[in-house]
Amino acid sequence: MLKPVNPDRLTKALDRIGKQEKDSFSSKKKLGIEDSVFLKLDNKYRFLEVKTILKVESAADYTMVFLRDGTKMLTLKTLKEWEFRLPEQMFCRIHRSTIIIFLFINNIEPWFNHSYMVYLKDCEKPVAMSRRYFSTIKKRMG
């Protein structure tokens, strides 16, 4: 960026970047719980049923997809794209690096520093939930 910054040019550039990001997601359809998505998982292409996903965690530039049968696979999709495409009534973000299936929450326990641990059915280890996302879960659980 060259100084002095022209506010009008900066605004136009930021708008253009935001539009490109929005367009890239809007071209992809939202998934339903019965849908399948075609992905490259662990260097193999395959169809993955949405209903088999237990959680999705970020892994640097990739995401790790954990399935209900205990398998986990690495894919080149961003967590932001998963959040946009997965059905909102079934999946929720609980941390800046984690999305889980809402219906498989077993229980939620307070942890330190106003954060929480979420225990999922079919998952051995609990998942950390930040206090930022706790209010969203609380609204959904009623």
Radius of gyration, CA atoms only, the chain = 18
For residues 5 and 14, the answer to whether their CB atoms sit within 8 Å is no
- pLDDT at position 129 is 92
Residues comprising the chain, all counted: 142
Q: How far is CA 127 from the centre of its chain?
A: 14
Q: Is the pLDDT of residue 15 over 90?
A: no
Q: Is 33 exposed, middle or buried (0-12, 13-18, 19+ CB in 10 A)?
A: middle
At residue 39, the pLDDT reads: 87
Distance CA 50, CA 21 (A): 24
- CA gap 87, 132 in Å, rounded: 21
The predicted model gives 110-129 an average pLDDT of: 89
Q: Which of 129, 132, 93 is nearest to 111 (CA)?
A: 129
Average pLDDT over residues 20-43: 75
Gap between the Cα atoms of 18 and 26, Å rounded: 12
Which pLDDT value is given to residue 28? Answer: 74
Confidence class of residue 24 from pLDDT cuts 50, 70 and 90? low
Mean pLDDT of the chain: 85
Which CATH architecture does the domain made up of 27-141 adopt? Beta Barrel (2.40)
Q: Kindly report the pTM of this predicted structure.
A: 0.75
pLDDT tens for 68-100 read: 998 899 998 899 999 999 998 899 999 999 999
Q: How confident is the model at residue 135, as a pLDDT? A: 82
Reported as a single tens digit per residue, the pLDDT across 33-66 is 899 988 888 788 889 999 999 999 999 889 999 9
Instruction: Give the start-to-end residue ranges of the domains of the chain.
Output: 27-141
pLDDT over 70, % of the chain: 92
